[in-house]
Chain A
Amino acid sequence: MTGFEVRVNGRTHDDAPRPGQCLRTYLRGHGWFGVKKGCDAGDCGACTVHVDGTPVHSCLYPALRADGKQVTTVEGLATDGELHPVQEQFLAAQGFQCGFCTAGFLITAAALDDEGRADLPRALKGNLCRCTGYRAIEDAITGVKHVEEPADGEAVGRNLGAPAGPQVVTGTARYTFDVDVPGLLHIKLVRSPHAHARITGIDTAAALAVPGVRVVLTHEDAPQRLYSSAQHEIVEDDPCDTRVFDDVVRHVGQRVAAVVGETEAAAEAGARLVRVDYEVLPAVTDAHAAMRPGAPVVHDKDPVEARIARPADNVLAELHDEFGDFAAGLAEADAVYRGTFRTPRAQHAALETHGALAWFDAETGRLTVRTSTQTPFLTRRSLCALFDLPESDLRVVAGRVGGGFGGKQEMLVEDVVVLAALRLREPVKLELTRSEQFSGSTTRHPFTVEVEVGAKADGTLTALRVHVVSDTGAYGNHGPGVLFHSCGESIAAYRCPNKRTDAYAVYTHNVPSGAYRGYGLGQVIFAVESALDELAHRLGIDPLLLRERSAVRDGDPLTTASGAEEDLLIGSYGLDQCLDVVRAARAEPVGPVPGGWLVGDGAALSMIATAPPRGHFGEARLRLLADGTFELSVGTAEFGNGSTTVHRQLAASALGVATSRVSIRQSDTDLVRHDTGAFGSTGVVIAGTAVLRAAEAMVGALLGAAAERSGVDVSRCALVGRGVDCGGRVVPFSELAAGEPLTTTGHCDGTPRSVAFNVHWFRLAVDPGTGEVRVLRSVHAADAGQVLNPMQCRGQVEGGVAQGFGAAVAEHVDTGADGAVTTAAFRQYHVPTFADVPRTEVHFADVTDPLGPLGAKSMSESPFNPVAPAYANALRAATGVRFTDLPLTRDRVWLGLSRD
């Protein structure tokens, strides 16, 4: 190939692409990192660019065809330093959360004609966003503005824009892979084709003979040490059942070897040539079957050492508790409902796949791991334990993270890059493909939940029992935590004197389950909320009334079948206000409904602890810089949750300064001593408290320093914007910065904990002839305590509702008889699109929590939890049919109605 030339954003590149190269990697290879890989298969739109003005998915576009053409990426949308109108609009509406999909939306929106703009559901069907639920994107494209510029010191409670907004909309925000590391080597993984097998031999000769292949790493190179990919503050919360590479494989898709090559192509070619001999072993892929006597044992390990409850029975963890006397309670009931509910495996579908880079600092010899993680500090701890490294020799950083949803509270790639880097002493990268995300990372735990509930005629509950089986898959990461949490707030949300729980997390030879938004609660809440709704129908009372009578009230103790959790309390109570919102909404007129369609409405509630149990630590550090501005360092990660914005608001408000005077560094183990990380909805409640404490300490330090400098008594000193007023003379912060360095630190240990409430309500119309369901109205009431940034908190709720809606109506990771994932692409696994997600009216209760920072509560996972049961309850009201298995796709709804 000669004479190739392409103009990209006005710059010429004349090196020819490889024959099979797509335009996406050509552009990224030339530093146009705004072009993202979401799926690499043409389904998600994150890589959209213009070729001669025409929008195309660059992952599908043969790079050679760009010869002689003009390509515009997101970096080229702005002209002469002026943002394109759609960039301005996405900033003004904050039409993004993690921002990984944003470049694709911007480039697509910039190419829409009037017809496209008039039909956004169709025009945007080729762009997926997992975070926002699309309302914010619609507002951006239609020119609605939300972002405010609050006055100095008055940022709390206002719609401050995300600090990274300008970078996100210009494609200059740096995500995990958006760095140019010279000499970077590439890793590709060899994965198991068997559900259960012992590796009897690995022949790497052919792979090593591929030009450019540097090394092949197998179980013989991996540490013997067992660990869990799950990242928790308390390591013992998870079993240690995993090796970097094991000599036994336990699910189709398990990694077997890593091939390191000078190019991805060489690594891929090598990976195809690694010959693995397997002794195939019997496998079990059904959780109930796995518990039966004689079932193949997934982990033949010592129960104490491995922290597995009953390895021989494939029971990873179990719970058998009773509070009161369940049988007696049931005998007292006027009506009893018993039902079994099933929720499927689901994928997080964060648009940025898992991946990490590792390199050695040339001068210090220190290893840096840059990774797409929610937990930089815990990951460093895990890596150091695994490879016997002192923590001082390892730095873990996260760039901007392209979505998490719990999936990145795992160590799924970092161990491999460190193994390879330590071996080769060269920089390495491992970036999973979308297909590997599905078949080789983690999923939401599939649950089977049997509920038995009894009540008196007036709706007072007398007995509540759940029998829970969760399929943790081949490894137990998060298995115990998800199981225990699933039976926590779901049960504690109701006043009932007699409660019983029997729960099992079960090993199978399936793809591992892991942490997923809601952390088990959503699965059991689906069952409990459906059962209570059904019970109300049987008693002939209003389901909402039954909840009002039986849900916990302010001042009540919170009891599960295990009794009370010691540091969990109703710090503030907004459930009554949330239920009132629903009551008001459903009293309003229904509006037009197509002829022959059935209409019904239903609600569900959920409660969630505002932080994980038994310790979650946040740390923040604030430093006064020479120019009189402040640098805030936080340990926790930003993956679109917006906590960074709130941190800036909290710090600026406490210091009484403009938000622009607080810069933020984050997600880097060099910044603070320790931080548990961004999971369990802790970004505001825990990290935010740490920030607030650091800022409050800084206020004291500033006043003290100013008093000393001015000789005025501290009682006569006060903060005034850019300095301290000392009895009439203002000492600027920059002057204070010239003295002793001013640095303060804030900590939060995450206890005691409060609870937040969410109530969702749908009104649906159902076509019994086709199974089609239309959402006539969707209302969500949230008790988030004091809302520190309404725009962002609304976005969190909408995003959670959208993900819950996906779980309700669309999403299921399917597996074959051997456990292999059969839905390993977005064209099979349907993530809700713009057209699917209904617009939801979001209401906040007026509540102040004494435990959270400035009265705030958590609001990240929780909006997800009540959505699916509210949908099923509305469907029940419309059709009379109780649907027990998710998701409720049209075909299943039709089948359910035609069977009835």
Chain B
Amino acid sequence: MDLNTVVEVRDPRVPGPWLPGDAWLAGGTQLFSEPQPLVRRLVDLTRFGWPPVTLGGDLELAATCTIAELSRFGRDSGLPVAELVEQCCRAFLASFKVWNTATVGGNLCNALPAGPMISLTAALDGVCLLRTGGGERRVPVVDFVRGAGESVLTDGELLRSITIPEAALHRRSAFRQVSLHAHGRSGALLIGTADTGFALTITAATPRPVRLDFPTAPTAAELRSAILGTVTDWYDDIHGLPAWRRHMVLRLAEEIREELA
């Protein structure tokens, strides 16, 4: 929809202060989907022209990498995690058309429980590179999202990229997603990864991603107990009752454990 309060689209390569009413613009698929009466300037990240995907051992995804670009990369990569990448792209409520403009970084910054790029990058030990005028910092994806719709970004800080360590790209993975509707928004999205250890990432069912790491593969009882010991807050919105989400997480976690055993 039109953002009628916007008076300027700014090129961030031109130095200038961050002002009240400034908003980072990546794909625009979230920004333009709701009224933004407080936004006065769009600061256009795409002007940086960051290469979307850089693979040099570690994998660096620019914040402006579109879902379509990520999906293409995954398909062509031949990496063990390629299937997981595609599964997470497909976990979007949005269709392939929105993939053409929506970005990986935008999905993280929205910080919604059902953000599948959060699920993917959290499960693959992703680390966010954040930038302000003053400098940079690195924050693991699992810590980047603090709650439903809430991230660690400070005013004017931008998400530059997400780096996934090389080792994570070669792990075995198992993916489970459940929604109230076919191809609908995730009510629970779980990813298990395994090499010598085992890790489970729980998203969509919880307000923020939950990551459980085990040095060796857990037993069913250990996994269940770890989940129930860690997750105290089951997300409650129209996309699933909390009790059902809890049940589905336990069930899907066990399926993942068995699949990766």
Contacts and interface: CB of A to CB of B under 8 A. Distances in A.
Interface of A: 18-22, 24-25, 40-43, 45, 48, 54-57, 59-62, 64-65, 108, 111, 116, 121-127, 263-265, 268-269, 272, 433, 435, 769-771, 810, 812, 814, 822-823, 825, 827-828, 830, 833, 835-836, 889-892, 894-895, 898
B183 A60 contact: no
Interchain residue pairs A-B with the least CB separation, the first 8: A126-B95, A20-B6, A20-B3, A891-B244, A265-B4, A835-B182, A40-B1, A891-B241
Contact of B98 (A25, A42, A435, A833): A42
B137 interface: no
Contacts of B7: 19-20
Considering residues A60, A269, A272, which has the most beta carbons from chain B within 10 angstroms of its beta carbon? A60
Interface stretch (B27-35, B115-123, B167-175, B224-232): B27-35
Nearest to B37: A272
A62 B8 CA distance: 12
B28 to A, nearest CB: 5
A111 B27 CA distance: 20
Given A45-B95, A59-B32, A810 B180 contact: yes
A110 to B, nearest CB: 12
Interface in B13-49: 25, 27-29, 32-35, 37, 39, 42, 46
What does DSSP make chain B's interface, helix, strand, loop or mixed? loop
Contact of B238 (A48, A265, A828): A828
B1 A41 contact: yes
Contacts of A126: 94-98
Nearest to B28: A62
Considering residues A41, A127, A769, which has the most beta carbons from chain B within 10 angstroms of its beta carbon? A41
A771 B95 contact: no
A833 B241 contact: no
A55 B243 CA distance: 39
7 contacts: A122-B90, A125-B95, A125-B183, A269-B4, A825-B34, A827-B185, A833-B181
B9 interface: yes
A395 to B, nearest CB: 31
Interface in B168-215: 178, 180-185, 187
Nearest to A810: B181
Given A19-B7, A823-B238, A827-B185, A60 B98 contact: yes
Contacts of B94: 42, 126
Contacts of B90: 122
Given A127-B95, A833-B182, A60 B101 contact: yes
Given A61-B28, A64-B9, A830 B184 contact: yes
Nearest to A433: B1
A833 B93 CA distance: 12
Interface in B97-154: 97-98, 100-101
Contacts of A65: 28, 46
Considering residues A122, A825, A830, A892, which has the most beta carbons from chain B within 10 angstroms of its beta carbon? A830
Contacts of B9: 19, 62, 64
Given A59-B1, A269-B5, A769 B180 contact: no
Considering residues B94, B100, B244, which has the most beta carbons from chain A within 10 angstroms of its beta carbon? B244
A25 B183 contact: no
A116 B97 CA distance: 11
A60 B96 contact: no
Nearest to B244: A891
A830 B96 contact: no
B247 interface: yes
Contacts of B238: 812, 814, 822-823, 828
A525 B112 CA distance: 39
Given A56-B98, A56-B101, 11 more contacts: A20-B4, A57-B98, A60-B28, A60-B33, A122-B90, A265-B4, A269-B5, A825-B34, A828-B238, A833-B182, A891-B240
A48 B1 contact: no
B32 A62 contact: yes
B244 A895 contact: yes
A62 B241 contact: no
A272 B37 CA distance: 9
A835 B181 CA distance: 8
Interface residues of B, number: 47
B251 interface: yes
Given A57-B98, A116-B96, A890 B180 contact: yes
Contacts of B85: none
A892 B241 contact: yes
A45 B187 contact: no
What does DSSP make chain A's interface, helix, strand, loop or mixed? loop
A56 B2 contact: no
B4 A264 contact: yes
A3 to B, nearest CB: 14
Considering residues B5, B94, B95, B251, which has the most beta carbons from chain A within 10 angstroms of its beta carbon? B95
Interface in B226-261: 238, 240-241, 243-245, 247-248, 251
A64 B183 CA distance: 32
B96 A123 contact: yes
A827 B92 CA distance: 12
Given A60-B28, A835-B182, A827 B4 contact: no
A77 to B, nearest CB: 16
B28 A19 contact: no
Contacts of B42: 19-20, 62
Nearest to B185: A827
A180 B180 CA distance: 42
Contacts of B244: 771, 890-891, 894-895
Contacts of B181: 810, 830, 833, 835-836
Given A61-B28, A61-B32, A265-B2, A55 B100 contact: yes
A60 B241 contact: no
B34 A41 contact: yes
A45 B185 CA distance: 17
A60 B29 contact: yes
Contact of A835 (B4, B33, B100, B183): B183
Contacts of A21: 2-3
A896 B37 CA distance: 42
Nearest to B27: A60
B96 A19 contact: no
Given A22-B32, A127-B95, A272-B37, A830 B180 contact: yes
A617 B251 CA distance: 59
A19 B8 contact: yes
Given A42-B29, A269-B5, A814-B238, A55 B97 contact: yes
A715 B96 CA distance: 66
A437 B81 CA distance: 43
Nearest to A107: B97
A433 B7 CA distance: 22
A561 B261 CA distance: 65
Contacts of A263: 4
Considering residues A111, A264, A823, A827, which has the most beta carbons from chain B within 10 angstroms of its beta carbon? A827
B148 to A, nearest CB: 14
A553 to B, nearest CB: 40
A57 B95 CA distance: 10
A433 B4 CA distance: 14
Given A60-B28, A810-B181, A894 B247 contact: yes
A891 B27 CA distance: 33
Given A40-B1, A116-B96, A123-B95, A891 B32 contact: no
Contact of A122 (B3, B33, B183): B183
B114 to A, nearest CB: 10
B180 A57 contact: no
A125 B97 CA distance: 10
A895 B241 contact: yes
Contacts of A833: 181-183
Contacts of B33: 41-43, 59-60
Nearest to B251: A769
Nearest to A51: B100
A5 B249 CA distance: 51
Considering residues B9, B28, B96, B187, which has the most beta carbons from chain A within 10 angstroms of its beta carbon? B96
B2 A264 contact: yes
